[in-house]
């Protein structure tokens, strides 16, 4: 049992190490972080419902998942092809496109979920 717990603890350490690497090295991760926090704060301020929270969490998770996968892909491509290669570029570009798609979908979800209550709040404040 102790061996299992140590193994789980090590797995969490590796995961948090990877998380820290992404935050430390990926400029766009900070943009994702600001947008995630902004969406969460708006959701709290607007007192959105449980289903709306579900959509926001899934959208943010989708973006973070894409960013982490893209960072891993870039590292593996750099390892496999330290010199410039057209296929390495394709791999990196497609990974970046996946993050862009995830971010665009998340932005649309954020607008659909937060837009109406935010608009209502501003109309109410007038």
Delimit the domains of the chain by residue range: 27-125
83 is catalytic: no
Can you tell me the distance from the alpha carbon of 115 to that of 122, in angstroms, rounded to the nearest whole number? Answer: 11
Q: Which CATH class is domain 27-125?
A: mainly alpha
The pTM of the full predicted model, rounded to 2 decimals, is: 0.89
Can you tell me the distance from the alpha carbon of 37 to that of 113, in angstroms, rounded to the nearest whole number? Answer: 15
Residue that has been written with the tokens 């140590």 in this structure: 6
62 CA to centre of own chain: 6
What pLDDT, on a 0 to 100 scale, did the predictor assign at position 113? 98
Instruction: Count other Cβ atoms within 10 Å, centred on residue 111.
Output: 11
CA-CA distances (angstroms) from residue 113 to 2, 16, 46? 45, 30, 10
Share of the chain above pLDDT 90, in %: 92
- pLDDT tens digits, one per residue of 42-66: 999 999 999 999 999 999 999 999 9
């Amino acid at each position: 049992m102790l061996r299992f717990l140590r193994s789980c603890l090590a797995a969490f350490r590796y995961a948090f190490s990877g998380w820290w690497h992404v935050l430390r090295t990926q400029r766009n991760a900070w943009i994702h972080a600001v947008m995630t926090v902004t969406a969460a704060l708006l959701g709290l301020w607007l007192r959105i419902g449980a289903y709306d929270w579900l959509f926001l969490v899934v959208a943010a998770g989708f973006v973070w998942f894409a960013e982490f996968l893209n960072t891993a892909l870039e590292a593996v491509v750099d390892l496999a092809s330290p010199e410039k290669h057209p296929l390495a570029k394709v791999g990196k570009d497609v990974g970046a496109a996946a993050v862009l798609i995830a971010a665009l979908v998340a932005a649309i979800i954020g607008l659909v979920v937060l837009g109406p209550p935010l608009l209502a709040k501003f109309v109410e404040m007038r």
